[in-house]
Amino acid sequence: MLKNLNKYEIILVSKSPRRRNLLKALGLKFSTDAVDLDESIPANMPTEKAALFLAEKKASTYQIKNNQLIITADTIVCLGDEVLGKPAGRKEAQQMLRKLSGNVHDVITGVCIKTSEKQFLFSSTTEVHFKELCEKEISHYIDVYKPYDKAGSYGIQEWIGYIGIDYIKGSFYNVMGLPVQKLYKELLKC
């Protein structure tokens, strides 16, 4: 279905093993690379624009050759107007999970598809409803899964997702870090 992309060398610019697995499941042939960059968000930026800002920032730092198509993405967790990034350590992970416990939050993934000639930007938002978590559940999850590379300190595909998420409104895969259905739709446009 994505034969129109055969002329490109597709590169996923991401360190995320979850994004690699999701893109592989889509049936694309691609390689991976990564960029190191400051993932801070301007203080006055609305939360709904932050993930797009970061995805575009990643794409702008990557040197694209003529036959390449890159895909960058960034996922943020928003509890009201507060953006919960990746925790710096155990204490911050506990604080984040306590905030999410018994609450509803949004997971927003911004995606940038870029060639030497064009750029496509889009985002996806999923509403996540967490049950009330007890301290033992939070500690167990952090001790076993060490969610320090995940926005909001959790992975929906892990134990905490099985026991802690009542329901979601939107894409499950978006919460994992890549809104695959929307990405497929945008790649068809390339």
pLDDT > 80? residue 2? no
The CA distance from 19 to 12, in Å, is 8
Count of domains forming the chain: 1
The CA distance from 165 to 31, in Å, is 33
Q: What is the CATH number of the domain that holds 128?
A: 3.90.950.10
**Interval 150-156 mean pLDDT:** 95
pLDDT > 60? residue 1? no
Over the stretch 155-185, which tens digit does the pLDDT of each residue have?
Answer: 999 999 999 999 999 999 999 999 999 999 9
Angle between helices 90-100 and 135-145 (to 10 degrees): 130
One of 74, 106, 149, 166 is an active-site residue; which one? 74
Is 74 one of the catalytic residues? yes
3-state secondary structure the chain: CCHHHCCCEEEEECCCHHHHHHHHHCCCCCEEECCCCCCCCCCCCCHHHHHHHHHHHHHHHCCCCCCEEEEEEEEEEEECCEEECCCCCHHHHHHHHHHHCCCEEEEEEEEEEECCCCEEEEEEEEEEEECCCCHHHHHHHHHHHCCCCCHHHCCCCCHHHHHHEEEEECCHHHHHCCCHHHHHHHHHHC
Over the stretch 18-62, which tens digit does the pLDDT of each residue have?
Answer: 999 999 998 889 999 988 888 888 888 888 899 999 999 999 999
pLDDT of residue 170: 97
**Which of 110, 156, 111 lies closest to 129 in space, CA to CA?**
156
Q: For the whole model, what pTM was predicted?
A: 0.93
Over the stretch 79-132, which tens digit does the pLDDT of each residue have?
Answer: 998 999 899 999 999 999 999 999 999 999 999 999 999 999 999 999 999 999
Host domain of residue 114: 3-189
> Which comes out higher in pLDDT, residue 79 or 4?
79
pLDDT > 80? residue 190? no
> Which comes out higher in pLDDT, residue 105 or 65?
105
